[in-house]
């Protein structure tokens, strides 16, 4: 985790048009590319893998979990993977760690906007109640 509270990112294998991203092994291929960038190799393991990017399945959807640490370790790899997501119209969730309780919170940009709107509404309601 970093000072800004970001723990990792999840690139989802579905476009904004709700179409599954193809090919089906895109997350594994992208993990291989990131592994080449950062140069992590493990003896006896013949597939490309790194702790900084891992293919995962979230709610039956293929995703790629990218550690925020990748941004510090290899900015070029981080930029590459984020540009890949943008160019292919894939959603990226930013996952943060809260201080209390220690849990991961996953929130898309749209969800964050809605949450901010709800918080602003709650604050204005409390202010109105205090005045009235």
Q: Which of 16, 17, 19, 11 is closest to 84 using CA atoms?
A: 11
pLDDT in tens, 42-82: 566 555 667 889 899 988 999 999 999 999 988 999 999 99
> Is 46 among the domain residues?
yes
Burial class (CB in 10 A: 0-12, 13-18, 19+), 102: exposed
Strand 6-15 with 53-58, pairing = unpaired
Count of the separate structural domains present in the chain: 1
Task: Please tell me whether the peptide bond between 23 and the residue prior to it is cis, using omega within 30 degrees of 0.
Answer: yes
The rounded distance, in Å, linking the Cα atoms of 83 and 54 is: 17
pLDDT in tens, 91-104: 999 988 764 433 44
DSSP for 76-131 reads: HHHHHHHHHHHHTTEEEEEEEE-SSS--EEEE-HHHHHHHHHHHHHHHHHHHHHHH
> Is 101 among the domain residues?
no
Structural domain of residue 22, as residue ranges? 6-95
The pLDDT value recorded for residue 40 is 63
Burial class (CB in 10 A: 0-12, 13-18, 19+), 101: exposed
Mean per-residue pLDDT of the chain: 75
The pLDDT value recorded for residue 6 is 85
Other Cβ atoms within 10 Å of 46 Cβ, number: 6
> Is 77 among the domain residues?
yes
The pLDDT value recorded for residue 130 is 46
111 vs 85, higher pLDDT: 85
> Is 37 among the domain residues?
yes
Mean pLDDT of the 28-49 span: 73
> Is 107 among the domain residues?
no
Which CATH number is 79's domain given?
3.30.70.2340
């Amino acid at each position: 985790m970093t000072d800004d509270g970001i723990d990792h990112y999840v690139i989802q294998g579905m476009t904004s048009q709700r179409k599954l991203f193809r090919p089906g092994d895109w997350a594994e291929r992208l993990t291989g590319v990131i592994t080449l960038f950062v140069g992590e190799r493990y003896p006896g393991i013949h597939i490309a893998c790194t702790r900084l990017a891992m293919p995962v399945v979230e709610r039956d959807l293929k995703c790629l979990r990218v550690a925020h640490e990748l941004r510090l370790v290899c900015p070029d790899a981080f930029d590459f993977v984020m540009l890949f997501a943008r160019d292919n119209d894939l959603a990226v969730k930013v996952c943060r760690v809260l201080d209390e309780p220690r849990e991961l919170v996953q929130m898309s940009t749209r969800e964050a906007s809605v949450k901010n709107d709800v918080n602003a509404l709650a604050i204005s309601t409390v202010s109105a109640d205090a005045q009235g």
